[in-house]
Structures are given as C-alpha cells and as structure tokens.
Chains A and B, each alone.
Chain A
Amino acid sequence: MSANTALAEKYRNNFLKEIEEQVEMGDWVKMCMQCGVCSGSCPTNFQSAWEHPPQELFMMIRAGKREEVLTTTSMWNCTSCYNCIVRCPRKLPITHIMHGIAEYAHRIGKAPKMQATRFFSGLFWKNATKTGRVNELKLSMGLYFKDGFAQGVKNGMAMQSVALGLVKAGRLNVMELFGGHKCKDQKGIQAMLKKAYEIERSRKAAKMAG
C-alpha cells in the first residue's frame, strides 16, 4: 500500500484532520474566516491566477476535497513574500501552510510531477548536496532541459548572450560542466545529510502511524 492510500484510508472523510496532523502548521486551517484578504494580497495570484487561492484551498480542505487540493499546482506558486501573513486578520501563517501542504503532497506522491517550482526544488537539492556546493552551470542547464532536448536547446540559445556576458565577466566557468568545484569535507556533508534524513524519516513515520 502506498503512503497516499494508507493515509487516505486512515483519515477517511476527514481531510481537515489529516491536514491538521500531517501538514506543518496545518492546525491553523480551521481558523480561516474566508475574508479573502490573502488571495487579494498575493502578487503571484495576480500575475498568473492560482487555480485555487489560499482561502479557497482552506475551504476545500474543510469540504474534504482531498484529491483536488493535493494535486493542484496552486500552493507551489507561493514565493514566500509574506504579504498574506502580514495581512491576515486571523493571523494565519498562510505562507508556511502553503509550503506545508506542498511538502505533504510531494511526500505522499500526489504533487504534480513537472510543476516548475517543484522540479527546480528537486534539482537544486540534488545539485547542492552532491558536492556541498551549488554548480550554477549544471543547475541552469538542468532547468533548460526540463521539457525535453529540443526545448532545452531553444532555451539555451535564447539565453546565449547572457551566458557569454557572464563568461566574459568571469562569473561563469565553462569547465564547471566537468566535475566542478567541491567543498573540503564532502564525506562529512554526506554523513550529516544521511543522519538528517534518518531523523526526518523516523519522525514522519511516527506521524503517519499516528
């Protein structure tokens, strides 16, 4: 049984309770009074309207719309500007709840696979933890080729002049493509991350077991 089905089974008909127990800051969701100030304050909601703005997500959670909430791209659009937190009359930590829901959807495998924010987060994490340093060249290349080889070449060509400028200014080293620079104690970093993963896993397993 996958983590998702196990949890869905456990919280049958009570998605709110699931969010409260599983999502970081999820116990705040019930306090929303549907004023909509968060949705009205969200700059990314204005830029490219969220499928479900924050207050609507909260209502969907209370209405038990589990599938729709966990698979939506909405909360992945949050850029942590904190406008909503500042303005919420009920003092809900909306930014943190958005990230909490996103993280939970990712954890149980419901998050949309190719959503740009989610993809970039994964790429960044892998990139940074491998050598203990961010390889900017590989990171941007990885992002260019997210939607296939042809699109990647196109993206690269579009950014050509910027890349050349960076190389000329000594801000970008083409040789980074081969290995690249590393931190001194790579093994120590790996050991530290391994321990951190272990702690997180045990904590979440305990949570899921409830």
Chain B
Amino acid sequence: MADIKVAAYICKGCGLGERLDADALVKIAQKDGKVPLAKSHEFLCNADGVAMIKNDIANEGVTHIMIGACSRRAKTEAFFFPENAVARANLREGVIWIRPDTDEARETTQEMAEDYIRMGCAEVKAMTAPGGNTNTGTSKTLLVVGGGVTGMTTAIEASKTGYPVVLVEKTGALGGWAAKLYKRVPVHEPFKSPADTGVGDLVAQVLGDSNIKLYLNATVAKTDGAPGRFIVDIATESGATHTEDIGAIVQASGFTLYDMNKLPELGGGKSPNVVDQAGLEALAKAAAAGDGVIRRPSDNQPVKSVVFVQCAGQRDPSGTHLAYCSGVCCNTSIKQAMYFKDANPSVDTTIIYTDLRTPGNGEDFYRSAQEKGVIFTKGKVAQVVPNGATSTVKFHDLILDDTDAAVADVDLVVLATGQVANSGIDIFAAPKTEEEEAAVEVKPISILNLTYRQGKDVPQLKQGFTDSHFICFPYETRRTGIYTAGPVRRPMDIAQAREDATGAALKAIQALENAELGRAAHPRSGDLSFPKVRLEGCTQCKRCTVECPFGAIDEDEKRFPVFNESRCRRCGTCMGACPVRVISFENYSVNTVGAQIKAVDIPDEFSEKPRILILACENDAYPALDMAGMSRNEYSAYVRIIPIRCLGSVNTIWITDALNAGYDGVMLMGCKSGDEYQCHFVKGSELGRVRMSKIDDTLKTLNLESERVRDLEVAITDIERVPEMINKYAAELVAVGPSPFKGF
C-alpha cells in the first residue's frame, strides 16, 4: 500500500468554526493522523469546497480522503468520490450539536473532535475504495414459480417492463385458487355484489405474451447459483429436464386451505353437508353450470338454510390449530352468503362470527349483505352436529351470553378454515426423531430445491409464511434475488396478491440489475464492497457458512467457504463471526474499526476523563444518535462512537482491544432481536448478541467487571432515550472506577 496518499479536510461551516479550533484539528490530522495533506475550509460541502477536494484528487494524487464535517449520513451527494476511499469524522451531529456551548465544555468538546479526526485518519488508511464484485452474471430473465393470480400478475408486469419471464406451474392449467372460485369479492364501486374473478383475462394475457415462457405440469428440480446467474432445472411431467439461465426469482406458491378434517367437532369430514370455503365454491360453480340452485351434496336437495362458521381452526390460542387470522375469510363468507341470497332471498343464511374483519372496502360489502338479509350473529361455534341430511350448529351467543344457542335444521355448513402457506421445507425446523418423522402424514416438498448450504427453501418467518422483513420491506426474503409474493408471504386476497405481485416483480428486476453491476441489494442498495476472504488463513470452522443470515456462503468439498457475492447483503456477520479474522470488506474490516479504536487518545486515570467506546448499528442506532444531535439532546463528551454495519459484524477482538487500550466501558448498540426483531439483516443483531454473551469470559480473563461491556437495544426512534442511556452508563462507570489498563 505504498501508493496511497491521504488528505484530511476540516469543515468550518455550520458553526464548526466557532465551536472548534479548526487549526488545531488540522494539526492533529498532520501530527497524529500523519496525513501529508490537511486543510480546513469555510464551507466544505459547497461547490468551492468540493472543487478543492476534486482538484487535490486530480493534481495532488490524493487517493484517500478524510472529511471532518457532518455525519456520514449527511451531504452524501456533495461528498461523493466513487474512485476514492472516504472516511467521515462526525464533528457536527456527533460533537458540537450534542455538547453545550459553554466555556467549561469547550475543552472536552475539542478533545472529542480531535479524537474523531484521529479515528477518521486511521480508518481511511485501513480502507481501499470498493471496486464491486466481479463474479457476476448477466441473465435478465425472471423465474416465476406458481401460475396463480400472483404468479401470472408478476409475469405480466415483468414482461411489460421488458424482462423475459419463465413461468413454472405445477398443475396442468394456469389460474391457481382463483380459477376455482365462482366469483370474487368486489374491488370496484359500489362493492355490493360478488364480481367476476378476472382469471380468464389474466390467463389470456400470459398465453398471448411471447415474452413469457410457460412450463405447465412442471416443478423446479434444482436452483443453483446467485442473482444474475441462477441456473434452474425445470422438471416436466414427461420426465424431461429443461435448464434455464435466470436472473432473479419470484416465488408465488400460494396457499392451501387448512384441512377441515382436523376439525371433527365442527363436523369437518363427518358429513358431506359440511364443506370448507373451497367446497362451497365448487358447489356454486356446479349450480351456475346448471339451474343456478346450490344443492346439498348428500342428496342434491336445494339448500334452504346455510350457516357459515368463521374462524374455524383459526385464531386458536391453544396451539392445536392456526394461531392467526387469515384476514380474507370474513369477506369470502359474505360473498358466499350472497351466492344464496342473490339467487333466492328466501334461503336462510347465517354467518356466525366472533369479530367480523372486512379489510379493504369490505365494510360496504358487509352492509350490502345485511341489506340482502344475511343474518350476522356474534358467537363462537362450539359444535356442529350432523344429523342425517341436516345439521345443528351449537354456539355461544356472545351478545346475549347464551351458551346454549343453536341453529337447527341447517342444510349446509361452511367452515372458514383459513390459509396455510405453501412454503416448502422449513429449513430451520428442529430435526425430527424417526418416530416424529413417521407421524408426519404429508411430507413437505421443496419448492425451489436450492443447492444452498443452509437448505433447499427460503427461510420461514412465522407460522410457515416466508416473509422476512416486514418492517422495512415486505417482499424481501432471506435469500437475495428470491422474492416471495402472494399468500405464501402472508394471508391475502386477490386484490392484495396482485399488488404484491407487482411489487415483487419490480424488486426482482432491481435485484438482477444490481447483481449484474456487482452491487448489493436492499438494505445496502448499491454498495460496491463485498466480503473478501483470505482462504489460506481459514480453519474451516464453518461459522460464516452457518451464520450468514442470507445463506450466501456455501462450502466446497474441503469445507472451505465459497462466497456467492451476488447473494450477499454486506452485513458483515461473517466478518464478526470469523475467529481467525480472515474475512473483510474493502472499506469495512476488522482493521478499519480496530484502527479507530486504537487511534483514540486515552487520558490517564488521574484525569477523570473516562473513555467509552460505542459501536452503533448504522441502520438504527447511528441515525438515532444523529437525530439526537439535530434535536440538541446533549450527551457525555467521553464517548467515542464508531458506526458498524450491523451488531452481527462486531468481532470480539474489537472489545478486547478496546478494554486492553484502557477504555473504561464499551456500549454495543444494536437493533431489537428475537421474534419482534428490527434488524435490517434479520438475524444479524441476534447472532451478534449470542456472540457477545460470551464476552463475560473475556472480561474474567482480563480481571474486569462485567459492567465494562453493555449490550443495548436501540431503535431509530430512540432520539431522547439514547442520550439518557449514554449518560446513565457514564455515571455508572464512575462508580465502577477507571479501567486498570490505562497507561500501558
């Protein structure tokens, strides 16, 4: 690295010049930062300041730039030098805005700024400008798995955007669930009556589109590779296998209705006159093909009374059945009750519900059903007793608190059983014993058959649904370049599925375009850095391949990690996990952070100036700290904050280094982990915390108090809380006393 030339620039705008001694900072950069070129400027982000930097790059041979100005989150367009390594010292949000403008505070504020300059200079020297991943593919074809409403919509939308599509459908016909419906819930004014499904139109569009290559009676036998260079084997009914080059994948594998045979107390499987919602659609279709009268399956007599049982096997707190609400069944039952009322108003239709949930414009639809004479009864159905051709529905009337309420002589009972995702194999499920394995009636079949080290399918989030990042982006899964849409992601109806499909198509297109350019996808969109591994140092411990939240790393025959850069989201969890520290990014590594930690000036124990290191997640904690600055929420001048990509990227060596260097305490600020996680990398903060839970051993070997390391959950909204946490911790550390490692 002999040919690097570092330049440091100190800005005097935004009050920095008045609050800080800029000349002293320039000297610090030269003396401690050892940069050959250090300058200050009145207003660095204006045209003149940026021109000065550009001129130095062009004429002075500057390769590495350290900017001491505002937060790295501000002025990113002005300070955009893609050819150079850039570090930012946060003097504005991180120093002057969080410190009082008083004479007493001046000294510690200046010290803070000086340390950030030292840290910035040290960091930038350990960096190189990221060049982008070169192991890329150029396929622009989208693979859509599933030919239902979601899959067809994705295919049509992608094709219209100009991308070729390969559509794989397991059955012999397009249409999926929607094709089995007689009619759909209306989506247009006046929302009063069931509407045509529109499936025929979608099928015609797919069939008439030369840009969409259709495989019917086909499944995905193997998915290999990474975004931009997936190689997918498609097995067809005839036994032939077709191989396609694919850029990105949308999985629209839909749902299955919860099996009503699991509900014998509600008559499921006990009588042909107890059906699920799909069963009723079939009856309605048969009726429409005949004389329009819906008939009882047992004896073909016209149905004169029908009861709809909502939440059948759903919202079950006992854990036996589905724990969730599918959100579509109320509207569906209303629609199905109208099938009867629209044909013959004298048919008695009763919907027994506990909470009627009618999203979208369902409220109008509900009202219309009431106008048509559908009876809505708030109650919990206890039992459906089939008795010959009719049934008695026993329920607890929740308004009248009548536990013995019943509807007798019901010709047909419809159970609203809810949606179960077709998400393939649960790759993270606890391994089953042979006995348990034998007890499983239907073995799950993999949908994508990924060759990934972590498993054949996309990881599931909750209740078997494949969503992964519900907070910030819905279509993302934990497999880069593979998006899920429709009811496999969460329960939904046709209208929502079509919207979902459109979003997923656009995300998939974005992913394959980014992949071709060697850039990261969400949430570090456009990032050109990627993990580089020094394989000669690798001990084949497999931690990186197991921990990677996105399954980006496979293993070769010798168990060395094989990085698939296009699958990587650049969170750095592998880097944090690596015990021998052979994984790094060009602009983010064990060294870039380690150098910053070591660059801080540690005053001796008699100075009463403790030093606290904060490793703050750049997605939530760091913005919260910046915003605390914007709100002028003051915090201790003794903290030194280093943004990290994710708590998962924290290597324990940083903590050991910091404590050895004489820091009095270390605060780790990461996102919430666990079920209600807020981590942008889903599992990053959780994995980081597991790793940090073992830090106590390190502290013991160093003979240090456990208070010296503090793990904190910080959300982006903690603008007021974060300064309080810092100040509280600083006060606690005073009680613990100075670190015994100072001055060594």
Contacts and interface: CB of A to CB of B under 8 A. Distances in A.
Interface of A: 16, 30-31, 33-34, 55-56, 59-60, 62-63, 65, 90
Contact of B356 (A33, A56, A59): A33
Given A31-B371, A33-B370, 5 more contacts: A30-B370, A30-B371, A30-B373, A31-B370, A63-B402
A99 B399 CA distance: 22
Given A16-B375, A30-B375, A56 B399 contact: yes
Contacts of A90: 367
A65 B375 CA distance: 14
A34 B378 contact: yes
Contacts of A33: 356, 366, 370, 376
A206 to B, nearest CB: 22
Given A33-B356, A33-B376, A34-B378, A59 B399 contact: yes
Contacts of A30: 370-371, 373, 375
Interface string B340-381: 000000000000000010000000001100110101111000
A59 B378 CA distance: 9
B352 to A, nearest CB: 11
Contacts of B370: 30-31, 33
B400 A56 contact: yes
Interface in B717-742: none
B399 to A, nearest CB: 4
B377 A59 contact: yes
B517 interface: no
A90 to B, nearest CB: 7
Contacts of B405: 63
9 contacts: A30-B373, A31-B370, A31-B371, A33-B356, A33-B370, A34-B399, A55-B399, A59-B397, A63-B402
Nearest to B402: A63
A116 B360 CA distance: 48
Interface residues of B, number: 15
Nearest to A52: B400
A31 B378 CA distance: 14
Interface string B310-336: 000000000000000000000000000
A56 B377 CA distance: 11
Contacts of A60: 400
Going nearest first, the 4 A-B pairs with the smallest beta carbon separation are: A59-B399, A31-B370, A30-B370, A62-B375
Interface in B372-429: 373, 375-378, 397, 399-400, 402, 405
B400 A62 contact: no
Interface of B: 356, 366-367, 370-371, 373, 375-378, 397, 399-400, 402, 405
Contacts of A31: 367, 370-371
**Chain A's interface: helix, strand, loop or mixed, by majority?**
helix
Nearest to A89: B363
B313 to A, nearest CB: 24
A31 B375 CA distance: 9
B400 A59 contact: yes
Contacts of A55: 399
Nearest to B356: A33
Nearest to B401: A56
A56 B400 CA distance: 7
Nearest to B305: A13
A78 to B, nearest CB: 19
Contacts of A16: 375
A28 to B, nearest CB: 10
Contacts of B377: 59, 62-63
A199 B377 CA distance: 38
Nearest to B408: A13
Contacts of B400: 56, 59-60, 63, 65
Nearest to A29: B370
A65 B356 CA distance: 23
B371 to A, nearest CB: 7
Contacts of B375: 16, 30, 62
A65 B400 CA distance: 11
Contacts of B371: 30-31
A121 B376 CA distance: 35
A34 B356 CA distance: 10
A33 B366 CA distance: 9
Nearest to A20: B373
A210 to B, nearest CB: 15
Interface centre among A16, A33, A55, A60 (most CB of B within 10 A): A33
A90 B356 CA distance: 15
A188 to B, nearest CB: 45
A31 B373 CA distance: 9
A30 B371 CA distance: 7
Contacts of B366: 33
Interface centre among A31, A63, A65 (most CB of B within 10 A): A63
B397 A63 contact: yes
Nearest to A59: B399
Nearest to A90: B367
Contacts of B373: 30
Nearest to B373: A30
A43 to B, nearest CB: 22
Contacts of A63: 377, 397, 400, 402, 405
A65 B402 CA distance: 12
B92 to A, nearest CB: 51
A54 to B, nearest CB: 12
A67 to B, nearest CB: 14
Nearest to B378: A34
B365 to A, nearest CB: 13
Contacts of B356: 33
Contacts of B378: 34, 59
A34 B399 CA distance: 8
A65 B376 CA distance: 15
A184 B475 CA distance: 84
Contacts of A65: 400
Nearest to A36: B399
A188 B373 CA distance: 46
Nearest to B353: A34
Nearest to A68: B400
Contacts of A34: 376, 378, 399
A56 B378 CA distance: 11
A56 B405 CA distance: 15
Contacts of A62: 375-377
A170 B378 CA distance: 58
B310 to A, nearest CB: 14
A171 to B, nearest CB: 48
B645 to A, nearest CB: 49
Contacts of B367: 31, 90
A10 to B, nearest CB: 15
B347 to A, nearest CB: 13
A55 B376 CA distance: 13
A37 to B, nearest CB: 14
A62 B373 CA distance: 11
A65 B404 CA distance: 13
